[in-house]
Structure formats: structure tokens, C-alpha cells
Amino acid sequence: MPNTDQLLELNHITQRYGETTVVQEMSLSLQRGEIGCLLGPSGCGKTSVLRGIAGFETVQEGTITLSGQQIAGRGQHLAAEKRRIGMVFQDYALFPHLSAAENIAFGLQGKSRHEKKQRVTEMLALIDMPQCGELYPHELSGGQQQRIALARALAPRPSLLLMDEPFSNLDVTLRERLCLDVRDILKQEQATAILVTHDQQEAFMVADVIGVMNEGRIQQWDSAYNLYHRPKNRFVANFVGEGVFLPGKVVDSERVEIELGIIDGEFDAPCCADCGVDVLLRPDDVLHDDNSPLQAVVKAKAFRGAQILYTLELPTGSEILSLVPSHHNHPIGEPIGIRLDTDHVITFRI
Amino acid sequence: MSKGESGVKLWTARLFSQGWRLSALAISLVVLTPVVVILWSLFSPDLAVWQHLKTHLLWELSSNTFWLVLGTASGTLVLGVALAWLTAVCEFPGRKIFSWALMLPLAVPAYVTAFVMVGILDFTGPLQSWMRASGIEWQPPEIRSLGGVILVMVLAFYPYVYLIARNAFATQGKRALEAAQSLGYSPQAGFFRVALPMARPWIIGGVMLVIMETLADFGTVSVFNYDTFTTGIYKAWFDMYSLQAASQLASILVIFVFIIVLLEQQARARMRYTTVGKTAGKQVRIQLKGWSRLAAVALASGVMLLAFIIPMTQLLIWVSDVGMDDLDSRYFEFLWHSLLLAAMAALLVVSASVILAVANRYYSDLGTRIMVRVATLGYALPGPVLAVGAFIPIAWFDNQLRDGLHTLFGYDGGLLLQGTMVTLLAALCIRFMAVGFSAVDGNLQRITRSIDESAHSLGSSGLVLLRRVHLPILRGGIFTAMTLVFVDVMKEMPITLMTRPFGWDTLAVRVFEMTAEGEWERAALPSVAIVLAGLIPIILMNRHAQH
Amino acid sequence: MKCKQWLVLIAAVVAMWVSYSALASDEVVVYSARNEQLIKPLFDAYTKETGVEVKFVTGKAGSLMQRLKAEGENTPADLLITVDAGNLWQAANMGLLQTVLSEKLNQSIPEYLRDPENRWFGLSVRARTIVYNTDKLSDSDLSSYEDLAEPKWRGKLCLRTSKKVYNQSLVAMMIAEHGKPQTESIVKGWVANLATKPFSSDTKMMQAIAAGQCDVGIGNTYYFGRLEDKDPTIPLKLFWPNQQGSGVHVNISGGGVTQHAGNVKGAIALLEWLASEQAQNLFSDSNHEYPANAAVKPSAQVAAWGAFKANPLNVAKAGELQVEAVKLMDRAGYK
């Protein structure tokens, strides 16, 4: 039964360039008002998917459905200009010969002059640049251009908004602030959007649901929290957040034994008792405890302001990571006490 | 560094940075001289001749010239832009070949295309003769008419617009067009609303060149016996022996051109058209299907046929009929002279253009801008008028120099400057400065300020900046400029004829000698030589541009 | 890289300077509006016979004259050779030519073919006469230049452009003979009878007549000669008009010694040689013209066109009235 709240559905999409397959059998669905994200390293195919949805590239197999209507796949390809899908490009692509206001109004063809003016004023207010309408792109800063680009894409009220690494050209502090601003704007407009990025922080700050991609496939389509705490496979576990794998043995459905001791908690055991697994340990799972009998030697440390990320070596030689409040400043080579504090146990079959 | 040292360094740096402006000033003064000489005639008008011109000819000349310029400008605009769009952005059968082939008509002088077309399509030509012999009653429209001149000029001059527009479309990035698509514009609508406006400054530059060429043309309109301002100038000068009246007409022309140029500059003032988006990434072309594909192929082939293939074929036929008798050792001398002259002029013009373009970029005050614009005015003057305008001051200077040397050293020889290449080169450079500058400047504008600034911060400035950063990026523009000037000088005739040294003839001079006597068939061989010599740099330029 | 190229360029320029600045004193320098292929054989023959080098530059008459004017006293030119009496008159009028007193020249060249003040001398003669299509007309249909203005020729006349000096001279001579008002109505009549727009060259015009676009036209005899060479069967023939009246309009190519010539003796010698019997044949035959020297016979081909009475009015009149002629043609609408 068709879900009226489902806006976008990708069904086993495959995209190829000549001999190379860049997107393999990818499926996802996005609800109205949701902000999705495709996260992955460069070359994983995320931009191709985006461009496939937008209509700039073709889909060889599978279907793309938007608001219940098929727009691509099975020999059909609806032209990009007919899809009512807005796009924000990595380099903003503002029209240099038009002012900011004219850029924003560009997608409003068919509307009366009055309506255009109104919508432009609305958008300028939304992006908090009410005085900048008459300026030309070369007179605006990077962050301002990006916001104009967003306003331009949103002005015609598209059913879907796509954003291709929109923050990559900005500096870090600006980026953080803009991520939050953009999320606010999108929510205010009740827009449905997909963001493509390689930066986890952006993904976490902006998106409701994130798809981690690798080699043309979605590894996991889930909330940020779940990706972090319940990664479905090794790639996601490695890509999202930091962590190390330690070999372990399943004791029962609630306990796993590793060299640091027995961990108990919820987990999906990949096998029954006595089988070998790899256990994921995140830096926040390993706490600093001066009173603990367990000792590990500091091999490296990275100062992060509020915390220090220590790389520690266990007596067995394996390395683990630990995130510790930064006033515990231990030099390299010093042994420190550690203790496990896990809630979710994440295991993978060997 | 001591205070003294740093002071000197500062002073030399300042002098050096002013050096650009001074050089630009020097160049524009050199160019300005013939213009001033011509305009000076306004102060000593020949009233009798002027009265006659005003009463009987001025209106007709103006209206003729107006329609001719309008027709040629519109024709080259539409044709050049359409072809540029098709080859830069779309995909259709044969696109790769057409992409460079459509440049080839540049090598054919307009006056050659003119006499070939008239020769083929006129009453006495093969087409109509065949039609009469076959009993076909219908007579095709008269080629020796306004329509005919416009047709020939459009076929001869569209490459200027084509080349510049193609570059603009190719380098501006697909991003802007995709953005337009995402906002609901089809590729065709996107072309008109985005690609075209963005490329406007360059396209306007190209059309301006065409307008100037049209205004200054004498050879083509003579073949058609079509009266324009330029033929009026000739008449006043040679037939009525009134250089003053001729200069008066010429000065009207110059003023008119200057106004147009100023207006164009105003329009460009505010907008900076640095590239939108990165040009890296796959060049995904618009695939043409169905009737649009057919139309594209038909248009491109039609233009190739009319502008190049048919004229060349006719020339070759004439050569085989008549021409090889003329081929003797003098021929290679003509060829060598043509090549040498073209190369030297190209070098000079491009060096001057780079200086002008750099000055224009660094010092965007009104004074510099005017200087630069003035420097490109020589283009609007008809060849012979410019030749005289250049000749008179040099002759005067030469006479003074000789007299001075005579007084000081008892020098008794002949003139020093005249009869040498100096006058010829000076006049040619003045004439073609606009061509070189337009190509170099267009390229320079594409370089964003941030590139300049990042280079500055890395310690490069001045000449070093030019050499290490600008020149490599400018290479494309410089190459284009050299090619265009080279080909133009190879084709140039009136100035060469008037100011060349003794016995120093070029291929174009040869063509003149033949056509002056109405011996068009015998003009075919040197014409073919001009075209062939011009083809090589054009093809090279295209190869270079592809990278 | 750029620096090196600059140095090479400067070196080249200096080299050219040096080579061209040095002129041998024995040479004669000629500015010629007559084409290279027509005069070079002559100069070569002169050099062969006398050993004197001839250096020459070709160009359009008007440009050469402007150049002479601008060069003033320091001009290297000794001799000016140009086409059309109008140009010669103009050159003399501008003070570019000097008076030459030469018995030889005065004897060789008839009076009406040289300047009354001995500043220029005709060297060859061409007639501007009527050309007609033999398939459509015969001799009896034609009479005079003026007759071609009659309404019976409507749509049957072809002319060359008024911008060409040959037509200007023709009209100038007509003004001398008939006065301005009458000449103007004659020219207006011609314009009304045009079958098509005026042609840019005599050759094209004659070809149009042969092809039938029109029946009759006015052109120079040597162009006819060239067409006859190419195709002896061409349906064209020359007609000598005004035989009962003033005669056929003739014009000359000729030359004069420049006002500031460095080598006056050499220039006069060359001029005399060009007017002499040996050179005259070479001069005129190469271009199907009539020799100016009355003692010399024209080539067989040219002679075959028949004898005619030429207009004895001094050709200088053509120059005197040229500006008037141009203005008249503008007024009459003859393009």
C-alpha cells in the first residue's frame, strides 16, 4: 500500500559509466519533511546517486519514485528540469550576471511580479540577509553565497532538495554554524532534503537519517545514534566514529569475553557460545581509572581541547583508544589505569 | 636591509609598477597619432567637396553603411553563437570535425570570398549559365546587392564571433547550466537565460570586432560596387583629391566607433564574469536527437560549404585553368615576405596587448581604461586612411631627422625611416591592436583576483607575477591573439600596398595587382597561397585550445 | 623567451634599415601605378641595354601620389608612372612633377597626349569605346556615346562603376565638349538604361554583354583584347563611336619626372627610352594598347580592330575636369 508520507524511493538503483559500476543495487526511502544524508569516502558513488536523483545522470537499473510518480528507471528518464527537485552545488553556482535577489527569483518563472517579490523577500529574511538583495555574487562572502544558493533552491518550493557537499568550501567555524542554520531553515520550510558529504560532523548536525555508503552500496541507512552505537558492519563501524577491534569469545547471549575481561550488555550474538568474534571498542567505552588493576601504556595522544584521545597499548600488544578528560595529562610511555564501560556490545563474526 | 636600500627598493618598485602604466600610455599615444592626424582635418575642412558630399552622398552612404553593419553584425551574431553553442555544448554527428573546421574560413580574405561568390552566382557565372542552358526560366536573386554583401561578410567574419563565443561557452562550466535545470529550465531555455547572458561580454567583443572589420572594409564592397562610408572616403581622397574631405568622413567614423566602444564598456562595468563553478569534471554534452540533430548537421555543413569549400574549390579550379604560369621564384619571395611580416606584426601586437591588458587589470581607474580603449581604435580606420595617418607623422619625423643629421653631421643620404619596415609595421600594429587585445584581455578577465592575491602572498609580484602566474594561464589567450593577428596581416592589403619598402611584395599585394585589372582568375593562385599559409596557425591554435 | 624574440626582431629591423637605406646613385627609382607584370619586362630590357638599375614600387595612383607629397624634398623617387591622364594632371597640379625640356620626347609623343607644360608624357594609348554583343546588334545600330542615353536602349546598357578613373575621364571630356547641363542629362539617360547595377570591372561588364545580360556597354580596348585572347569566338565586337563628331575618347598611361628627383638625368633618359621606338612596342603590345609614339605601329591584333578618329582634345582636360565629373556622376545617380 503506497505510503503517502513517503516522498522519495530508490529501488535497487544501479548506475554505470561505461564498464564501471558506480552505484550497485542501492535502495532507500525518505519521508516527507525528513533530512537524509549520504555519507561516505570520495569515490563511493554518493554524488552519482544525487545526480541520478536530480536527473543529470541516468539510471541503468532500478527505479526512482518521487511522490508516487516514477521519474527514472526501466527505460524512462524524466528530464531534470521537469522533476521539481532543487539543488545546491558544492561551488554554489550562482549566476554571476544576476544580483542575489534575481538569483533567488530565477526559479520562479510563471509567477506574477508581486508574488516573486514577496517570495524573494521571504527567502532573504529566512536566510537572514534581508539587505543583500541588490548585491552581486562577487560582492558576497563564501558563507553568504552559500545561503543565497540555498534560498535560490528553496524559493520555488521544490518537493525535494539535494545538496552536494555544500559546506566543503567554507572554513570550519563557519561550517558548524551554517550546518545548524541550514537545518533550521530546512525544518522551517518543512523541506525534504538529501545532503551528500564525506564529513561525519556535518551529517550528524544536519541530517535526521544517514546512509553510509561504500563502493556504490548503502552499508546502513539509520539515525546517527544507531550508526554510532549499532553499526551493522565493519565498514560502518570503522567509518563512523573511532574505535578498534579486539578479538573475543562469545560466552552467552549476554556476555563476551575479551582480554580485558568479560563484557556484559545487550548484543546481537552472531553465533552461539564459544565462537570467536571481533568486538568493537569505542574510545568512550574505555575510561580512565587510576584505581583499576588493568594497565595500558600510553603510545600516542591527541589533544582535543576538552578531551585527550589516548592510544594505549595493552599487555598483549593490542592497541585501544581511550577518550579522557584533558586534565588527565599523561606523558607517552606512562602506564595508566583503564576500565571498560560499555552499554552496547558490538560484535562481528570473524 | 638598511633604510637607504629599502628606500631604493621601494622607489624602483613604484617605478616598475608605474612602468606598466607608462608603457600602456606610450602604446596608446602611438595609436592615437594617426587618429589625431585624421581628426585634425576637422579644423581645416574642405568646404566645397564637403558640401557636395553632404548634399548628394552623405545620406546614402550613412544609410548603406548602417544597413550593412546591422545586417553583418546580426548575421555573425546569430550564426557565430549558434555554431559555438552547438560545438561547445552539444553533441551531434561530426561535431569534433566541425569544431575546428568552422574556424577555417578565417584564412580566406573577405575580398576573395567576395569575388568568388560573385563569380559563381552572377549572371555570367557557372550557376546561372547552366540554368539558362538548361532552359530554367527562374532567375535567382541578384548577388550584387545589399543581401549579397551581407551574405559574403557574414560568411567571412562569423569566425570571430564563433571563436570567442565557443571559448566562453566551453570554459564557463556546466554548473550554471545544471543549476538552471534544477530550477526548471530546459537546456534550450537555460541557453538563453543563463549561458548566453554569461557569455555576453565576450560575444559583444566578438561582434565589435566584426563591426569594425565591416566599417573598415574596402575590398569586399568594391567587388559589389556597394557604397559605404569607406568607399566615400576613398572617393573624396583619390577621386576628388581632397584628403581633408576624406579625413572628415573618416573622423565621423572614428567618433561613431568611439561612442559605441564607450557604451559597451559602460555596460560591462559592473559585472565580473569570472567563471562559475569548477570546469573540472566530466564534460557531459547535450545529446541532440531527431530534427534538432539534423538541423545542427545541416547548418554546420552548409556554412562550411559556403564559407570555405565552395570558394576554395572555385579558386583551385581557376588555378588549374590559368594560374601555374605565375609560379616562379618570385612567388616564394612573396610567400616568405608575407610570413615574415605576419610573424613580426603578431609578436609586436601581442607584446603590446599583454602590456595593455595587465595595465588595464591593475589600474582600473578611468584614465587607464580610456587609454586602453583608445589603443584599440586603430581598427576602425579604413586601411588606406590609417596608412596615410601613420605615414604623414613618420614622414614628417623622418624629414626632421634627416635635416637634423644633415645639419649636425653633414649626412647626405636618403630618408631613414621611410622605405623601411617601420612605417609598415607601425601601421599594421595600430590596425590590429584591437584583435590582439581582445583575445588577451578576455582571457585575463577570467583569472580571478584570488589567484593574483595568492601569488602575491607567495612573494611573486610585477614581472615575476606576470611570468610565473599570468603568462602560463594567459597562454591560451596569447596564442589565440598571435594566430588572429598573423592571419589578419597575411590577408591585409591596403596598408601593405601603401607603405611597403621597395620591391617588397607580399601575396596580398599580388592579389591586388590581379584584381585591380579584373583578372580574378589570376588572383586565384596567390589567394590560395594566402589561405593555405593562414590555415596552419589556425589548425595549430585549435589543437592547442582543445587542451 | 620573450626577451630573445625582441632582440631578434630589433636586429631584423636594423638589418632591413641598413640594406634599404643604401641606394646606388646611378639607379633610377620609379613609383609606378602600372602593374608589375606590365612594367618589369620593360625595366629589365632597359637595364640590359644600358646597364642602369631600375628600382620600382607599385601601388595605387592615389597612394603613390600621397606618398610623394609626404616625402617632399627627400623623396627617393625619380619618375612617376601612372595610368590615366586625370591622375597625371592631378600629380602635376599637386606640384609633384617637374617640367622636362626634351626634344626627343616632344618629337616622339603627339601634343595632345602630353602636358601643355611638359610635366608629363603619355607612353601608351587606350580607347574607351563601345562594346556590343554581335548576336544581338550590328554596327548600324550604333552611333555615339550620347546616343546610348536614348530611351530605345532601356534595359540594354551595361556600364562599369563611376568610381573607376576611366569613366571619370570620359565624363570629364564630355563636359569639356558639351558643358555640364547637357552631360548631366546624358549620364542620367545612361543610368536609366542600365540593365543591371554597374560592374566593378570592365572584364565582368564585357562578359555580361557576351552572356546576354545586356546588349551594349562602354569599356577600354585592352580588356576586350584580353577577352579575345582567351576566347576568339566570343560574341563581342568593338565599335568606334562619334566618328562624324569629335571622335573616340582616348586616354593614356604615362609618366613624369618628380619635382625633387635625385637623378633627373637618369629619369629623363628612361622616359625617352620608353617613348622610343624600341620600347614602345614592348610597352603597348604587352597590354593590347596603342603606342603613343605615332611612328610606331600597333600590334597585329590591335590593328585588326580597325582605325578610328580619336578625340584630339588634350587629355589634360580629363584631369582638369575630373572633380566636376565625379560630382556630376553623383548628381546623376551613376554609382
- Which of these, C194, A246, A65, lies nearest to B142 by C-alpha position? C194
Categorize the per-residue pLDDT at B547 as very low, low, confident or very high, splitting at 50, 70 and 90: very low
CB atoms C203 and B519 under 8 Å: yes
Give the DSSP letter string of B247-289: HHHHHHHHHHHHHHHHHHHHHHSS---PPPS---S--PPEEP-
Interface of A with B in 122-151 (CB under 8 A): 136, 138
* CB-based contact, A345 to chain B, within 8 Å: no
CB atoms A95 and B179 under 8 Å: yes
Smallest CA–CA distance from C327 into chain B, residue: B52
State residue B467's pLDDT score: 65
Q: Contact partners of A by the rule of 3+ C-beta pairs under 8 A? A: B
Average pLDDT in chain A: 86
C-alpha dist (Å) from residue B41 to B242, B446, B499, C90: 11, 41, 21, 21
Q: Which of B19-28, B63-72, B107-116, C6-15 has the highest mean pLDDT?
A: B63-72
Instruction: Mark out chain B residues that contact chain A at CB-CB < 8 A.
Output: 173, 175-176, 178-187, 189-190, 193-194, 197-198, 200, 270-274, 276-278, 284
Grid cell in block for residue A19: 564498464
- pLDDT tens column, C109-138: 999 899 999 999 999 998 999 999 999 999
- Which of these, C19, C17, C243, lies nearest to C130 by C-alpha position? C243
- Which of these, C160, C92, C82, C90, lies nearest to C128 by C-alpha position? C160
% residues pLDDT > 90 (chain B): 13
Q: Residue C22 pLDDT more than 50?
A: no
CA–CA dist B405, B389 (Å, integer): 25
CB atoms C331 and B56 under 8 Å: yes
- The answer to whether the beta carbons of residues A103 and A89 sit under 8 Å apart is no
Categorize the per-residue pLDDT at A38 as very low, low, confident or very high, splitting at 50, 70 and 90: very high
Of the candidates A57, A136, A156, the beta carbon closest to that of B183 is on A156
- Quote the radius of gyration of chain C (alpha carbons, Å): 22
Own/partner contacts of A322-330, CB < 8 Å, gap of 24 or more, are A322/A283, A322/A286, A322/A287, A322/A288, A322/A296, A323/A283, A323/A284, A323/A286, A324/A287, A324/A288, A325/A288, A328/A288, A330/A298, A330/A301
Task: Identify the residue whose cell numbers are 557460545.
Answer: A273
- pLDDT tens column, C74-89: 788 999 999 888 889 9
Average pLDDT in chain B: 79
Q: pLDDT: is C9 or A69 the higher one?
A: A69
Task: Categorise residue C306: left if φ over 0, alpha if ψ from -120 to 50, beta otherwise.
Answer: left
CB atoms B124 and C23 under 8 Å: no
Q: Phi and psi at residue A117, in whole multiples of 5°?
A: -60, -45
Cβ-based contacts of C210 with chain B (< 8 Å):
124
- The answer to whether the beta carbons of residues A15 and A59 sit under 8 Å apart is yes
State residue B1's pLDDT score: 47
CB atoms B178 and A80 under 8 Å: yes
**Order of all β-strands in the sheet with A286-288:** A286-288, A335-340, A295-303, A307-313, A319-325
CB atoms A96 and B274 under 8 Å: yes
CA–CA dist A79, B376 (Å, integer): 46
CA–CA dist C247, C225 (Å, integer): 21
Name residues whose C-beta falls within 8 Å of residue B149's C-beta, 6 or more positions apart in sequence. B68, B114, B220, B221, B224, B226
Cβ-based contacts of B398 with chain C (< 8 Å):
74
Smallest CA–CA distance from B199 into chain A, residue: A97
- Rounded mean pLDDT of C187-192? 95
CA–CA dist C203, B515 (Å, integer): 11
- The answer to whether the beta carbons of residues A15 and A48 sit under 8 Å apart is yes
- Rounded mean pLDDT of B52-79? 90
- Rounded mean pLDDT of C50-66? 84
State residue B76's pLDDT score: 96
- pLDDT tens column, C231-281: 899 999 999 999 888 889 999 999 999 999 888 999 999 999 999 888 888
- Which of these, B229, B233, B237, B235, lies nearest to B257 by C-alpha position? B229
Give the DSSP letter string of B139-188: PPPPSSSHHHHHHHHHHHHHHHHHHHHHHHHHHS-SHHHHHHHHTT--HH
* CB-based contact, B497 to chain C, within 8 Å: yes
Categorize the per-residue pLDDT at B451 as very low, low, confident or very high, splitting at 50, 70 and 90: low
Q: Residue B422 pLDDT more than 90?
A: no
Q: Which residues pair with A320 in a beta bridge?
A: A312
- The answer to whether the beta carbons of residues B51 and C330 sit under 8 Å apart is no
CB atoms C76 and B415 under 8 Å: yes
Residue B77, min C-alpha distance to chain A (Å): 20
Give helix B471-491 / helix B329-362 axis angle, nearest 10°: 140
State residue C63's pLDDT score: 75
State residue B50's pLDDT score: 77
Categorize the per-residue pLDDT at B457 as very low, low, confident or very high, splitting at 50, 70 and 90: low
| A-interface mutation test, from B171, B174, B183, most A Cβ less than 10 A away | B183
Cβ-based contacts of B231 with chain C (< 8 Å):
163
Categorize the per-residue pLDDT at C21 as very low, low, confident or very high, splitting at 50, 70 and 90: very low
State residue A176's pLDDT score: 84
Residue B272, min C-alpha distance to chain A (Å): 7
Cβ-based contacts of B272 with chain A (< 8 Å):
96, 136, 138
Lowest mean pLDDT among B94-98, B172-176, C326-330: B172-176
Q: Which of A275-279, B104-108, B321-325 has the highest mean pLDDT?
A: B104-108
Cβ-based contacts of A85 with chain B (< 8 Å):
182
State residue C37's pLDDT score: 79
CA–CA dist B439, C238 (Å, integer): 55
CB atoms B124 and C6 under 8 Å: no
Q: Estimate to the nearest angstrom the gap between the alpha carbon of B505 and the chain centroid.
A: 22
Q: Contact partners of B by the rule of 3+ C-beta pairs under 8 A? A: A, C
| C-interface mutation test, from B46, B60, B124, most C Cβ less than 10 A away | B124
Residue B125, min C-alpha distance to chain C (Å): 9
Q: pLDDT: is C118 or B356 the higher one?
A: C118
Categorize the per-residue pLDDT at C301 as very low, low, confident or very high, splitting at 50, 70 and 90: confident
- The answer to whether the beta carbons of residues A65 and A11 sit under 8 Å apart is yes
- Which of these, B193, B203, B112, lies nearest to B163 by C-alpha position? B203
State residue B280's pLDDT score: 43
Grid cell in block for residue B419: 622605405
Residue B457, min C-alpha distance to chain A (Å): 19
- pLDDT tens column, B220-265: 888 888 988 888 877 777 777 777 777 778 778 777 777 777 766 6
CB atoms B198 and A136 under 8 Å: no
- The answer to whether the beta carbons of residues A223 and A208 sit under 8 Å apart is yes
CA–CA dist A335, A297 (Å, integer): 4
Q: Is the alpha carbon torsion for C194, C198, C202, C205 positive or negative?
A: negative
Categorize the per-residue pLDDT at B468 as very low, low, confident or very high, splitting at 50, 70 and 90: low
- Rounded mean pLDDT of B9-29? 70
- pLDDT tens column, B326-341: 666 677 888 888 889 9
> What distance, in Å, lies between the first and last C-alpha atoms of chain C?
54
Of the candidates B183, B197, B278, the beta carbon closest to that of A91 is on B278
Cβ-based contacts of C60 with chain B (< 8 Å):
238, 497-498, 516
Grid cell in block for residue A149: 544558493
- pLDDT tens column, C138-166: 989 899 999 999 999 999 999 999 988 88
- pLDDT tens column, B377-421: 777 677 767 776 777 777 777 778 777 877 777 665 556 665 668
Grid cell in block for residue B274: 569570472
Cβ-based contacts of B123 with chain C (< 8 Å):
196, 208, 211, 213
CA–CA dist B127, B120 (Å, integer): 6
CB atoms C60 and B498 under 8 Å: yes
Q: Residue B472 pLDDT more than 60?
A: yes
% residues pLDDT > 70 (chain B): 79
CA–CA dist A221, B10 (Å, integer): 63
Residue A88, min C-alpha distance to chain B (Å): 8
The CA-based diameter of chain C, rounded to the nearest angstrom, is: 76
Residue B346, min C-alpha distance to chain C (Å): 11
- Rounded mean pLDDT of A148-156? 92
CB atoms B181 and A107 under 8 Å: no
| pTM (whole model) above 0.95 | no
Categorize the per-residue pLDDT at B450 as very low, low, confident or very high, splitting at 50, 70 and 90: low
C-alpha dist (Å) from residue C146 to A309, B119, C164, C264: 112, 31, 19, 44
Categorize the per-residue pLDDT at A1 as very low, low, confident or very high, splitting at 50, 70 and 90: very low
Please, what's the b/e burial string for C161-198 (b: 16 or more CB within 10 A of its CB; e: otherwise)? Answer: bbbbbbbbbbbbbbbbbeeeeebbebbbbbbbbbbbbb
Angle at C55 between CA C49 and CA C57, to 5 degrees: 135
Residue A158, min C-alpha distance to chain B (Å): 9
* CB-based contact, A334 to chain B, within 8 Å: no
